[in-house]
Structure 1
Amino acid sequence: MTGPRARQEARTIGEWLGEAARRAPSASALVAEQRIGYRELDELSDRMAGGFAALGLRRGDRVCVLMRSSVACLGVWFGLAKSGLVEVPLNASSGSYLLRYFLEHAGATAIVCDAEFAAQVRECATGVESLRHLIVHGEEEGSEPGPPGLVRHRLAALAEQPPGDPGPVEPADTAVILYTSGTTGPPKGALLSHRANVNLARHTVDLLGYTEEDRLYSVFPLFHSNARYCSVMAAIEAGADLVLDRKFSASRFWDRCREHGVTAFNYQGAMMSILHKQPQRADDAENPVRLGFGAPCPPEIFTAFERRFDVRLTEIYGSTEVSIVTDMPPHRRKIGTAGSASVNYEVAVVDDRDEPLPPGAAGEIVARPVKPGWMFDGYHAMPEATARSWRNLWFHTGDRGVLDEDGYLTFLDRIKDTVRRRGENISSWEVERVVSDHPAVAQSAAYGVPSEVSEEDVMVAVVLAPGRSLAPEELIAHCAGSLTSFALPRYVRVLPELPMTPSQRVEKYKLQGEGVTADTWDREANLDAR
């Protein structure tokens, strides 16, 4: 079947998966070189749901998931959804500080992890009062027990359970908590319903015209909304095949597309710039890909990229909280922008008083859905942050942009205190907390400076405690055990004091304006010098 398909209204993820699998009995996903059909995935997730029920987990319980992309991870994801449990997918590179924060803040009853993370989880889980179960994937029988008060299980044993009765699950129930990077405070968990997840997948399919003739490709992890809803669920919805790799390889990207007959891929971060900088090949345009989808592709390479690789690009603007706010389908493209308001949202650019700004004036990007079920339901256990983000009937993105006379949006930069590095949002708050844990550091500020590749690199300015000294290499070694690898500072600068406002807030814009100075230590330059 090609073209628009008749389909029932979005209900729950479990019901949606069963319907989609029946429509596409031969479609499948290749995840980290392991293949599973969508009908098999539907059956596997039924058994996973039975296993979770056998542990006594109940509707609304929160379950953290610390797994790399795999067939088992898909089974856990959809099994939790069918059980009415709330999935909390975590970055597989989370440092110990952030992992414990997630467990405690989510109030997790259970955590599912790959065997390679079991020791880290044991260490971080000790003393987390809500946690009762540690479920390990890829572990043999007879492994050491969990920490005191935590029962250890093998995921394979849970998958052997017969399907259970999940009980009532409603479309408006929370399906997932996706943690977004902290800005001026700790990371926030966006509450997303079953209906919101299914709506995003269906909108992606409608926007891009995916059919069962397509084969989608993603290199992003399953704790990202990009891979989850715009690749995995979009492929299932369209009845298309899926190829999901665990990492991005610029040198092998197009060969992977040729090898698997890929027709569409998702992109974000510096991915397009990196691909464009690869040495040109005579067969660059000889690939099966018809379109790429995401943001941002720098406008200065947009047309050249399309021509070189014979691919059509579709840019969007959105976030975890509000999905695809603007888009640029083929019939209304304006290169250099993120498109105009999608059919599901209103978008505006406002000043500090939330008054709309005229075309061409820069301000904060705000958005709101035109019907229910298209945005997040708030931040978990953070009512004040929820109220701040959703004021005057608009969701405040924390991003700065411009709308032109025709309603096309251009993203400019972030108002929020995050660093964007190679497609990852890095919490300045997290970096500062870890840096400041070093006994020689009295004060720290983390911020982004322009990268020669694209986006930003992480820089920290530190003030040392009286009478203390600290080598930059020592500070990086201190951070390495607690920060994700992509959040490790590249640049370190030691200052006698930080610029402060009268209210004692660091004036980071002054530090960013100074950039990489002569007295700045560069981790990559020092690695190259060895």
Structure 2
Amino acid sequence: MSPTTLEQRQLSIGAWLANAAGRHPHATIGIEGHAVSVAALDAAAGRAAAGFRALGLAPGDRVCLVMPASTEALHAWFGLAKAGLVEVPLNPAGGSELLRYCIEQSGATVVVCDAGREAMVRELIRDVEAVRYLVVAGGGTPKAAARVDRLAFEDVLAHPEGPVHEVDPASAAVILYTSGTTGPPKGVLLSHRANINLARHTTRLLGYTANDRLYSVFPLYHSNARYCSVMAAIEAGADLVMHRRFSASRFWDICREHGITAFNYQGAMMSILHKQPPRPDDADHPVRLGFGAPCPPEIFADFERRFGVRLTEIYGSTEVSIVTDMPPGDRRIGTAGNESENYQVAIVDDQDQPVPSGTTGEIVVRPKKPGWMFDGYHRMPGATAESWRNLWFHTGDRGQLDDDGFLTFVDRVKDSIRRRGENISSWEIERVVGGHPDVAQVAAYGVPSTLSEEEVMVAVVPREGRILDPAVLIGHCGGALTSFAVPRFVRIVNALPMTPSQRVEKYRLRAEGVTEGTWDSQAGTQ
């Protein structure tokens, strides 16, 4: 079957994996030094599917995974997909309240964890009535009898592969929980075909082949690692190397050591890499491209020149994958590209009316084809309807479209700061403050004003060996920012609270507010 014909087929993930194993059996996925070939993964997934079905689970039942990136996590992921079960991957480092909420809200009947987290997970599920089984990977000592039955994941994998069950490609494959920074996390329902569509789009966009070797530092409960790394690599027949943590100081050495040709980025990764001290061998590596968002436009060209890579930026989210993209031959630096072949994009005001080009508003999108976006928020019909009002999915992001349809991301709607009657972009402040030579990282956010609305505050991490003077930093902002956007408060910190996907957890900073030791530009003037 030709690749074109194959791409036109609607497949479940299990059928897609079996097909890929036939085409690229020897391609490998390596996680922290442990590698599995695509053929071996397909075989293990078939056994896992039989083992999960032996528990009496029915298609559509949910199974939570609370485990770090590992080959066992891959076996569970694809085994559940082959069985027609809905995988619910959770952050294993998440707080107990968050994990308990997600397990309970998902309605999962089975929880899979690694041995090191068994005691913690047992405590979490003690009062969650829907959970019937706890499956533990990696050995460990079985604890005393409890309300749930305990099984070893190795026993689940020991089942002989049974008959292939037909799974509807349009059925739910996974629930991915959003960060929930402004309220309870929402479970994003994604189908088999949506996952495969994203993997294939990524592969086409970046031109991945079996000669590539990809690199990811993102977790397996995040769509970036799952569909733009693991499944994209499998689709292309490329090898993949995954690490659980991002190391800026060792990044390029790791790429050299493993022969990496492409990597994914997001959050603050690019700024952090660019802030590393220059080395004579900065461009001496096999990497040809980076893929993700956002790379600040002021460092974009220098990053490509210094490190000898070509960057491809996109805009998307867990719900709507790659909305805009910037193919190598059609780039406009500082934007996230033009609308992809799969989505319509518009910018609207608070009344959902389109705004003129160059005007900031909320980014709304809708698919041009079926199977390209999420199917709603799990057990949250009100949130689903609100996000889909007026036949557009409302992203919660602010942006602009230029006359040629190129999208510029501004910030999250809830990340904008309201001061003196003006809406201020936290992203714009971070670009200016982050441009100071003594700044390694920065987060801008609003804190309550004693008068009304908000004041602008920044938390700043100095570069190693540098002493940062807040007054000098504010002087640096003069002229580059309008007067009402210049921060009032500067807080010097050793590190910013970050998610595993390298995004700043601003809700933590907002909750801490103006702390003792925070510098106030208006101190003594009121």
One-letter identity of the residue aligned with 1:112: V
Residue by residue, what CA displacement relative to the aligned partner does 1:472-514 show, whole Å, maximum 9, x if unpaired? xxxxxxx9xxxx99859765888xxxxxxxxxxxxxxxx7xxx
Aligned to 1:257: 255
SS of the aligned residue for 2:354 comes to: coil
1:451–1:38 CA distance, 2 compared to 1 (3 A): farther
Task: Tell me: higher relative CO, structure 1 or 2? Use CA pairs within 8 A at least 6 residues apart.
Answer: 1
Any stretches of 5+ residues in structure 1 without a counterpart? 429-445, 455-478, 495-510, 523-530
SS in 2 for 1:246: coil
Mapped partners of 1:7, 1:219: distance in 2: 28
Alpha carbons 1:349, 1:366 under 8 Å: kept: yes
Q: Which residue of 2 aligns with 1:59?
A: 59
- In structure 2, C-alpha distance between the alignment counterparts of 1:359 and 1:492, rounded to whole Å: 32
Structure 2 counterpart of 1:217, one-letter code: Y
Q: CA deviation at 1:294?
A: 0.2
Q: What letter corresponds to residue 367 of structure 1 in structure 2?
A: V
RMSD over equivalenced CA pairs, Å: 3.0
* Aligned mates of 1:264, 1:449 — CA distance in 2: 36
Equivalent in the alignment of 2:233: 235
1:116 equivalenced with 2:116 (yes/no): yes
Tell me the residue number matched to 1:127: 127
Paired residue type of 2:305: R
SS for the counterpart of 2:280 is: coil
Count of aligned pairs between the two proteins: 451
Q: Which of 313, 317, 320 is equivalent to 1:319?
A: 317
- The equivalences for 1:515-526 within 5 A come to 516=514, 520=518
Partner of residue 9, structure 1: 9
Residues 47-72 of structure 1: CA deviation (Å, up to 9, x unaligned): 11111011112211100001111111
TM-score, L = length of structure 1: 0.80
Q: Counterpart amino acid of 2:333? A: I
**Unaligned stretches of 5+ residues in structure 2:** 417-425, 431-442, 446-453, 463-496, 521-526
Tell me the SS of whatever aligns to 1:221.
coil
- Could you say which residue in structure 1 is the equivalent of 2:485? none
Counterpart in 2 of 1:336? Answer: 334
One-letter identity of the residue aligned with 2:251: F
After TM superposition, list the pairs within 5 Å mapping 1:374-393 onto structure 2.
374-393=372-391
Could you tell me which amino acid in structure 1 is paired with residue 177 of structure 2?
Answer: Y
CA gap of 1:342–1:24, structure 2 versus 1, over 3 A, is same
Percent identity, please: 62
For 1:38-437, list aligned pairs within 5 A: 38-140=38-140, 143-145=142-144, 148-165=146-163, 167-416=165-414
Q: Cα 1:71–1:276, aligned 2, differ >3 Å: closer, same or farther? A: same
Does the CA-based 8 Å contact 1:291-1:313 persist in structure 2?
Answer: yes
Q: 1:260 to 1:137 in 2, by over 3 A?
A: same
Alpha-carbon distance in structure 1 between the residues aligned to 2:30 and 2:102: 29
Assess, with a 3 A threshold, how the Cα gap between structure 1 residues 492 and 408 changes in structure 2: closer, same or farther.
closer
| Amino acid aligned to 2:233 | A
Question: What's 2:468 paired with?
Answer: none
Q: SS where residue 220 of structure 1 aligns? A: coil
C-alpha deviation, 1:353, in angstroms: 1.2
Match of 1:34 in 2: 34
Query: Which position in structure 1 is the counterpart of 2:451?
Result: none
- Offset of residue 5 of structure 1: 8.5
Over 3 Å counting, the alpha-carbon distance change for 1:448 and 1:153 in structure 2 is: farther
**1:465 is matched with which residue?**
none
1:490–1:409 CA distance, 2 compared to 1 (3 A): same
The answer to whether the 8 A contact 1:145-1:151 is kept is no
Deviations 1:63-87 (A, max 9, x none): 0001111111100000000000000
The Cα of 1:254 is off from its aligned counterpart by: 0.6
> Is 1:452 aligned with 2:460?
yes
* Alpha-carbon distance, 1:168 to partner: 3.3
Q: Are 2:267 and 2:503, in contact at CA under 8 Å, matched by a contact in 1?
A: no
Compute the displacement of 1:183 (Å).
4.8
Q: Distance in 1 between matches of 2:97 and 2:403?
A: 46
Amino acid in the other structure paired with 1:113: C
Please tell me whether the aligned partners of residues 49 and 166 of structure 1 are also in contact (alpha carbons under 8 angstroms): no
Q: Which runs of 4+ in 1 moved over 3 A?
A: 1-8, 165-168, 416-421, 446-454, 484-494, 516-522
Return closer, same or farther for 1:135/1:39 CA change in 2, 3 Å cut-off.
same
Is the Cα–Cα contact under 8 Å of residues 82 and 165 in structure 2 kept in the other structure?
A: no
Distance in 2 (CA, whole Å) between partners of 1:118 and 1:252 is 32
Whether the 8 Å CA contact 1:2–1:211 is kept in 2: the answer is no
